[in-house]
Structure 1
Amino acid sequence: MNFKKTLRMPTTEFPMRGNLPNREPVRLEEWNEADLYDQVMEKNSDKPMFVLHDGPIYANGNIHVGHAMNRIVKDMIVRHRNMDGYKAPYVPGWDAHGLPIETALTKTKKVDRKKMSISEFRAACEAYAWEQVENQKEQFQRLGLIGDWDDPYVTLTPDFEANQIKVFGEMAKEGHVYQGKKPVYWSPSSESALAEAEIEYHDKRSPSIYVAMKVKDGRGVLDETDEFIIWTTTPWTLPANLGISVHPKYEYVVVEADARRFVVAKELLEQVQTALEWDAMNVVKTVTGDQLENITAQHPFYDRESLVMTGDHVTVEAGTGAVHTAPGHGEDDFIIGQHYGLPPLCPVDDKGKMTDKAPGFEGLFYDEANKPITEKLDENGALLKLQFITHSYPHDWRTKKPVIYRATEQWFVSVDNMRQDLLDAIARVEWQPKWGEVRLHNMIRDRGDWCISRQRVWGVPIPVFYEEDGSPIISTETIDHVAQLFRTHGSNIWFDWETKDLLPEGYTSEKSPNGNFTRETDIMDVWFDSGSSHQGVLEERADQHRPADLYFEGSDQYRGWFNSSLITAVAVTGDAPYKKVLSHGFTLDGKGEKMSKSLGNTVDPAKVMKQLGADILRLWVSSTDFQSDVRVSDDILKQVSETYRKIRNTLRFMLGNLHDFNPATDRVADHELGDMDRFMYQRLNRLIDTAQKGYREYNFGATYQALHHFCSIDLSAFYMDVAKDALYCDHENDVHRRAMQTVLYDSLVTLTKLLTPITPYTAEEAWSFIEDTNEAFVQLSDMPSRFEVEGEADREARWNELLQVRTVVLKALEEARSEKVIGKSLEAHVSLTVSPSMKQMLQQMSAPEKLFIVSKLDVLEGEETHVSVEKASGDTCERCWHVKDDVGENQSFPMLCERCADVVATYDRAVLEEPAK
């Protein structure tokens, strides 16, 4: 007879293989056609808002795995919040101005900047930026990200630019913006000023020189035969030397060596002696730094004096304690020079070449000037020592070339003006990790004023007009007018229109009676663009609010977007633009090395999605401790794929075993659940608690582990393993079977919902196979609630102990199998010695042997757990494969046990006699 037909084997069209690269795009198209994002927003319209404000990605090139990790985490946060009682809109953003786009046009598009007008070049930049935005948008959507992709924010749009002008105007009105000439980071390779956030440090080989400068007027303290020794690694700045700085409290010595008399800090004397290889020396005088103030020295190769000044910035960590001071080439130099009335002399032009203010070296690139300058020093007898050192040096983060400090006329935001307000605002923000607060606090505490002007054309113009005498005009009237013009026409008009047409109609000024106004030609630092997004997005858009509930970016943004956003927001609103800041680390290769195209160790998200699918990439992100640096490689993704396979098979098993279960009619009542079923509800509640806690605390690794453990341990290795016999062999409507199906149904629905923020494609696919769901898409449902479980409070503890015993039994069965005592576990007769309480628990079960998937079980009492396995006596049921003594007792079906015979008796005999196919 064909008894296989009477087994209720798993049946489902949910495929075993995910085939994600092919199925995910179809699912994405389905979401887009259904306007799923809008449906989610409508469903949550009356719920409290949760706003994660997206830090704008730069619109250039394909996304890399770091971009993917960043926005996948954001998507998991947003998806979870939308299922957890909030309305959580997501407005993706793009940063679309700046040098990289200009460079990309000239390099990849072969655009000749010199043959184009400013307007033509800006138009080309804008077209390129939009092309990049659309390309990246498609790649991000393919990752399964939900959001307002039809209306993102882009920093080049007229409405955003108008709001940026408004922020600039408000800051200027509060006195936070000023124009001044002072040293700033200057990139000769970019021909522009740079902000601190645009600087990165790399090793550079530089000359290290000791230089003697003769005293000219010793003011009765030093003789004219004495010489200060200065030390520098930038000989090219010596043409700009106007002074020598000493510390007022340090002791300085006049020392005889090599038949000359030198002045150095006493604490550095031995170090200088070693460096200059003096065989002998003799200290002839000791003075304090403040006694040296206003002494003058002779410049080593120009006919001018250098003033000795005192300042607390001088240290004795290196050098000589007498610091070469060029006010046009250093921040400390500039500050002390201002105090002593020295001008910020800067004999270097925009391209890094020496000007006629450096006679003898005109036209030389600054780095190339080092050699002739040292030769000139040697010729004059001023060069005491020349060697080369490799040291950490600031570089342009875009061109990767060295930068210099150079005094130029720039626009600045005064951090000093609001430093305490900024520090107070930082203290009111919640930081995760906690060290983020300390990091940003220290940055704001120590940072100088923010240089916001750039000598480029692709960006938002600085909205400043100038009087005939050169004094700047920044008034509420002009700012509001320019903002409205930009909102209507875009910022290109700043370069296209006449100055008079950019001013309010009929604008006049006493300083410019002839109406001869001019305008600023510099643009704003791109960090001002993105930093003002709290105004252009959070305040401007109806679906946002300020402050945002969360800012989330990489840890490099403490000096970038977190920093610039804080400064502009505090200046305009008095508080931070974010309630909480969460940061992530960097992506590394499988060995923990930095990724580099040249090393060939990068991971391309597009390639991963094409080969494995977006859900694999998302599952990897959820498995990491993203707040630290994370590793990713093909091998790591393969391991994640194995986890995915286990999760998918678990979903498939449950769907397959629910094929004849209608939750509306087949659910059992609570009192019909068995003790093991109730235990599984307790495990399900633990899953909900752990997963939800992980989501809410942004500890997605904990959520991932909980989901993985529930699928592989609680379900696959235990409950589903035990349930198979009842699910396959019991009567369709057996209460024990229906109880198990009830547990599996609730587990399936719960698991699918909890998986949705992490693997939305797979969760949505599983949801489409679940019966009796009220929502067309799982993303329109809510996170699961805990289940009410009747019974003893100690059930979980009892079952955990029982599962430990089960593990011991399963190990003994495996050993018996390897020793050929049994084949399958159902051939086993197990004698189990356990504690009195465990024996009582097992005896209270109706069929305890099924827990161990054996045919016969004897439970004995003893002090220690012990297991013995032998081959079970009796006959094997041809339907359920249990070895039982009652096989053959039913005369109609002598090859079956009583349980199976009763089930088979309900089938038409003609059906049973059909041959198996």
Structure 2
Amino acid sequence: MADDAAPARDYRETVFLPDTPFPMRAGLPKKEPEILAGWAALSDKGLYGAVRARRQADGAPLFVLHDGPPYANGAIHIGHALNKTLKDFVIRSRFALGYDVDYVPGWDCHGLPIEWKIEEQFRAKGRRKDEVPAEEFRRECRAYAAGWIEAQKVEFQRLGVLGDWWNRYATMDFTSEAKIVEEFHRFATSGQLYRGSKPVMWSPVERTALAEAEIEYHDHVSPTIWVKFPVVEGSDATQGAKLVIWTTTPWTIPANRAVSYNPDIPYAVFEVKALEEGLEFAPWSKPGDRLIVAEKLAEEVFKAAKVSAFEKIESVDCEGMVLAHPLADLDSHYGFAVPLLAGDHVTDDAGTGFVHTAPGHGADDYQVWLAHGHREIPDTVDPDGAYYPSVALFAGLKVLETEGKKIGKFGPANGAVMDKLIEAGNLLARGRVEHSYPHSWRSKAPVIFRNTPQWFIRMDHEVEALGGKTLRETAVQAIADTAFHPDAGRNRIGSMVETRPDWLISRQRNWGTPLAMFVDKHTGHPLVDAEVNARILAAIKEGGADAWFTRPDADFLGAHDPAQYEKVVDILDVWFDSGCTHAFTIEGRDDSAWPADLYLEGSDQHRGWFQSSLLEGCGSRGRAPYKAVLTHGFTMDENGEKMSKSKGNTIEPQAITKESGAEILRLWAAMVDYSEDQRIGKTILATTTDAYRKLRNTMRYLLGALAGFDEAERVTDYAEFPPLEKFILHRLWELDGQVKAAYESYRFSDVIRPLVEFCQSDLSAVFFDIRKDSLYCDAPTALRRRAYRTVLDHVFDRLTIWLAPLASFTMEEAWVTRFPDAGPVALRVIPETPAAWENQAEAARWAKVETVTGVVTGALEVERREKRIGSALEAAPIVHVADPDLLAAFEGLDAAEVFRTSAATLVAGEGGAFATDEVKGVSVDPAKAEGAKCARSWRILPEVGTDPRYPELSLRDAEAVAFWDAARK
């Protein structure tokens, strides 16, 4: 039949084309809520409850993921979305691996941000916080947190996150507050709690002590001063000399009680000989002045003092030296002696080699002061960061501004101290330095060290309940016993625990769980009485922590005299709250287990929740409340910059969900390396969307190609599968091991990336492309077509469950499209892949086949470009293969089918006109196909026209149409 002859029949209706209602356009923003509604209707706890019930009925092993509580004070951001999505990957993948997964979402509710917000609300109504009854204030805080819990819950569920949302936990629940107090009592009764007066990091803006976990460091510009301390007692060479210190906190000079030195540092007396000339101001030094500094730092000190020439007079032994306070001449309040104290913390790396020591305002200062037998710690600064009235010359002046537009900026204290030092003649020089300075994690305002009585948990006290070990020792061992993902997290939290000070757990605020105990007014010791503690817990269970503040002391004390005891009204550090969540969320429940299998949060929680949970669990139970810890990095914008509303570079998860669907956000989370800081933005999301389209198109093709597939069509004997099908089955066997291993170790990108590559390279570019002719044109009874559809069924079966934990909405849509009565895909467990599918020889064969095919494809592209052919079916290439192994790879294969041409010839040796630099020994003569064009399959073959029943068709197509016609009679 000539190509241009009109066929006597339209054979399009006989072609077995794919058919599916699964749309090419996902319409995720509309489709996802429909899927969520279907999940919600499955049980009284939605899809999560349905899957748990199925796993429990099957006797599945339990896996516990304990939720680190987000803070209930605003809409979720991209960091929340990443965190909860990763948790959902864990939940769904463990379900798919055959586990029963316990996951109870929770919220952190107490603390400063909510307290501030409620203060603002009352101020807007003209009421100061101290004018509002504590019960009313706490009630408003509770209502505020409850509103955001409900709002965030909806947003998390919109992302497709499974969990027991119906029994969520919150640290402000009455039962939670009671349990937190009970955990606190454990520390109090075991001897691990004490009240100490020592300098702690204090936020004047927030008016509370802060723990190390609540501190972050930012660059900060501070004033620097070099201060002269007159020598009162010393050697002959030091008479009339002044010792010089350097500090970045001028405001602490009124609190100075000593100067520290290091006996291993050489010091000397230097005499000023000349000053720099042409200065715009008069230096605070003059020729003849004698100054004591470290020899190594003398040049640096005198440069700061504008001294151009100086001379060493004599080396100095600092032991026993006594100084006068630099402000002593201005007020007798400072007339005390200032001793020199030896300390290892002193270095000659910078400054003067001497350290101004104010024991009420620095950890090192405090320790060296105590080490030399001193016990009295001066109090100079009040909770607002202002000098107490008793501080001569500076009473009432603020170190930091705590109100108004200048909140967090330096107050007048630094300037006033410098002015008085100048007046006293004891300021040598001053300047400014930019350095890393502690700031409150919440208010972002600078903090100060301030001496104040606080409650601490001992890190280095031997505890009988811990087998005579200290809390630090117990925690270090627990870290060694914990699995970390990535393992670098072990060193990070380990170094923090090894060096951290005692755990400061008291706060001076209103909204939180109280340190619910009484202290003996005479001894200062906590009251340890089981009956008192039981009454406290009963009251809090009934009325929440408010009961501690509103009920009279006698209700708790029983036979004890209330006049003898002080009620502690401080609240617990919120990290103690959240560190206790394991005790009231997973411990003691029949369908959960302690310790948790996994904690999963951002890497900042090594200093936060991971650590507070570790210390709480170790201090109360002797081990960490988790078996493994997984951490993720922070989400940056596309340029790798931190997201900030002021920069306008934030990406809101709600916007992504509304515009593109939560599935795109989930796929992004699956594809990034979450262990590092990751990036997100329009370009990155566009790439993610492209990957999603490839997955969706694969599922759509599978659904269409499998239309009408039934068990009678299935090929069950592995030996009957053609080589190409055996290769795809091998790839399924290979991927099965990779996917399971990746899910077991939480490497989600090692699931999604190989599967996307499999869909694109092995399926779409090879399997689907080669077999489309068979699918469309072979008779339904043909073994090749049956084998193809059988393998497609295996591919669909595995892809839907492999991808269900990550692309949950789309796999559910695909699964229900094919099996509307089978229940959700999440109910399934990843099936066992037959070991017989492993076929390394077939995998090696197809690698060689694709090598040759790549050269043939290149030759045909040239022919198309030169318009010598229109499609590959017009070609019948002659392929020259010099490599015997490459040639042998085609044994048993139809080369024309592999090359997607109408015919093909393989020839041993070289000689073809087309070759590539990449593949040696393979060349192609791109001949044209001979014969007539089949009206049904469009292949050009000599046999077309030899079947009198269907003269326009090839023999294969004629048989297929005969089958089609017979089925319709």
TM-score range for the pair, normalised by the shorter chain length: over 0.9
Shift of 1:771: 4.4
Aligned to 1:362: 395
Question: Could you report, residue by residue, the CA deviation over 1:408-466 in whole angstroms, capped at 9, with x for unpaired residues?
Answer: 11111112322222222211212222221111111111111121111111000011213
Shift of 1:273: 2.4
Contact 2:229 2:323 in 1 (8 A): no
**1:855 and 2:884 equivalent?**
no
**1:866 and 2:913 equivalent?**
no
Contact 1:256 1:281 in 2 (8 A): yes
| CA RMSD, 1 decimal | 2.0
Shift of 1:209: 0.5
1:120-199 equivalent positions in 2, closer than 5 A: 120-199=136-215
**1:602 and 2:654 equivalent?**
no
Aligned to 1:800: 847
Shift of 1:546: 2.1
Alignment partners' CA distance in 1, 2:324 and 2:266: 18
Structure 2 residue identity aligned to 1:399? S
Aligned to 2:94: 81
Contact 2:268 2:295 in 1 (8 A): yes
SS at match of 1:445: helix
Alignment partners' CA distance in 2, 1:664 and 1:412: 73
1:436 aligns with one of 473, 489, 494: 489
Contact 2:730 2:839 in 1 (8 A): no
Shift of 1:904: 1.5
Shift of 1:481: 2.9
Q: Structure 1 stretch 338-347 or stretch 357-366: which is displaced more?
A: 338-347
Aligned to 2:792: 744
Closer/same/farther in 2, CA of residues 772 and 211 from structure 1, 3 Å limit: closer
1:704-783 equivalent positions in 2, closer than 5 A: 704-771=752-819, 775-783=822-830
Aligned to 2:430: 386
Shift of 1:528: 0.5
Aligned to 2:35: 27
Question: Could you report, residue by residue, the CA deviation over 1:228-249 in whole angstroms, capped at 9, with x for unpaired residues?
Answer: 1011111111111111111133
1:568 aligns with one of 598, 616, 626: 616
Aligned to 1:915: none
Shift of 1:390: 1.9
Shift of 1:486: 1.5
Aligned to 1:892: 949
Alignment partners' CA distance in 2, 1:593 and 1:320: 39
Contact 2:85 2:161 in 1 (8 A): yes
Shift of 1:544: 2.6
Structure 1 residue identity aligned to 2:934? C
Shift of 1:908: 4.2
2:534 aligns with one of 480, 499, 505: 480
1:425-464 equivalent positions in 2, closer than 5 A: 425-464=478-517
SS at match of 1:714: helix
Aligned to 1:469: 522
Q: Structure 1 stretch 654-663 or stretch 864-873: which is displaced more?
A: 864-873
Alignment TM-score, normalising by the size of structure 2 = 0.90
Aligned to 1:507: 559
Shift of 1:285: 2.3
Aligned to 2:452: 408
Shift of 1:316: 1.5
1:343 aligns with one of 347, 363, 376: 376
Shift of 1:672: 2.0
SS at match of 2:927: strand
Aligned to 1:519: 567
SS at match of 2:135: helix
Q: Structure 1 stretch 418-427 or stretch 150-159: which is displaced more?
A: 418-427
**1:244 and 2:244 equivalent?**
no
SS at match of 2:435: strand
Structure 2 residue identity aligned to 1:263? I
Contact 1:452 1:528 in 2 (8 A): yes
Shift of 1:755: 0.4
Structure 2: gaps spanning 5 or more residues: 1-8, 273-286, 400-410, 462-470, 911-920
SS at match of 1:131: helix
Aligned to 1:842: 890
**1:253 and 2:268 equivalent?**
yes
Shift of 1:488: 2.5
Shift of 1:467: 3.0
SS at match of 2:641: coil
Shift of 1:118: 0.5
Shift of 1:482: 1.6
Question: Could you report, residue by residue, the CA deviation over 1:354-378 in whole angstroms, capped at 9, with x for unpaired residues?
Answer: 2113222122111311112111111
Contact 1:499 1:518 in 2 (8 A): no
Contact 2:16 2:777 in 1 (8 A): yes
Aligned residues: 902
2:296 aligns with one of 267, 280, 285: 267
Closer/same/farther in 2, CA of residues 209 and 763 from structure 1, 3 Å limit: same
Contact 1:328 1:334 in 2 (8 A): yes
Contact 1:849 1:857 in 2 (8 A): yes
Alignment partners' CA distance in 2, 1:813 and 1:271: 77
SS at match of 1:39: helix
Contact 1:299 1:305 in 2 (8 A): no
Q: Structure 1 stretch 522-531 or stretch 781-790: which is displaced more?
A: 781-790
Contact 1:416 1:448 in 2 (8 A): no
Aligned to 1:41: 52
Contact 2:255 2:380 in 1 (8 A): yes
Shift of 1:737: 0.4
**1:815 and 2:862 equivalent?**
yes
Shift of 1:769: 2.2
Alignment partners' CA distance in 2, 1:424 and 1:790: 45
Closer/same/farther in 2, CA of residues 542 and 274 from structure 1, 3 Å limit: farther
Alignment partners' CA distance in 1, 2:871 and 2:686: 32
Shift of 1:165: 1.3
SS at match of 1:88: strand
Aligned to 1:213: 229
Question: Could you report, residue by residue, the CA deviation over 1:526-572 in whole angstroms, capped at 9, with x for unpaired residues?
Answer: 00001111212232433332221111111111111111111111111
Q: Structure 1 stretch 717-726 or stretch 670-679: which is displaced more?
A: 670-679
Contact 1:215 1:298 in 2 (8 A): no
Shift of 1:738: 0.7
Q: Structure 1 stretch 864-873 or stretch 734-743: which is displaced more?
A: 864-873
Question: Could you report, residue by residue, the CA deviation over 1:579-626 in whole angstroms, capped at 9, with x for unpaired residues?
Answer: 111111110000111111111111100110011111110110110110
Alignment partners' CA distance in 1, 2:534 and 2:322: 50
SS at match of 1:856: coil
SS at match of 2:313: strand
Alignment partners' CA distance in 2, 1:567 and 1:694: 31
Q: Structure 1 stretch 862-871 or stretch 629-638: which is displaced more?
A: 862-871
Alignment partners' CA distance in 1, 2:270 and 2:191: 50
Contact 2:231 2:321 in 1 (8 A): no
Question: Could you report, residue by residue, the CA deviation over 1:698-750 in whole angstroms, capped at 9, with x for unpaired residues?
Answer: 22111111110111111000101111101100111211101000000100110
Identical residues among aligned pairs (%): 40
Alignment partners' CA distance in 1, 2:326 and 2:707: 96
Contact 1:294 1:309 in 2 (8 A): no
1:589 aligns with one of 637, 648, 660: 637
Shift of 1:217: 2.6
Contact 1:192 1:456 in 2 (8 A): yes
Alignment partners' CA distance in 2, 1:867 and 1:908: 41
Alignment partners' CA distance in 1, 2:898 and 2:760: 17
